[in-house]
Structure 1
Amino acid sequence: MKHRRDKLVTLRKNKGWYQKDVVNELKKQFNITITESYYGMIEQGVRTPKLEIALAIAKLFDVDPNEIFFDVKPNKKLGLKLA
């Protein structure tokens, strides 16, 4: 089941970036090479990036990776709460 990553799209647009800008910054700041098409699929939820790429994207936007890539829900048994 795919989930569009609206938070990721919002973060990118808030910086005034296009998808190609994210791809360029990943290369420049983290030496990670991906295509603009692949990044677009990450935003659409069609592709799940490798951990290294997910962490770099989160760092690029200065957010916790959980905010972008994981659907964290409270769990009463484990005592987890949403902040």
Structure 2
Amino acid sequence: MLVLTRKTGEAIQIGDDIEIKIVSVKGDQIKLGINAPKNVEIHRKEIYLEIQKENKSAAEGISDLFAILKNVD
């Protein structure tokens, strides 16, 4: 993991298309501004993990459905 120190107003560039800017720091909270192409999905980590969990659950449901359909005459 790369760890960088930035001050309010400073930014980090990821590749050619993604910029993460420190908007403000207040107590133990940091506000980030993210500039990225519209095709790049950006989520908070806990939301991303929930989406992955839901997708996995939905995919398992589809394979269960296929197994049931195989047994239908």
With normalisation by structure 2, the TM-score equals 0.29
Higher relative contact order (CA 8 A, sep 6+): 1
Higher strand share: 2
Bigger Rg, structure 1 or 2? 2
With normalisation by structure 1, the TM-score equals 0.27
Higher helix share: 1
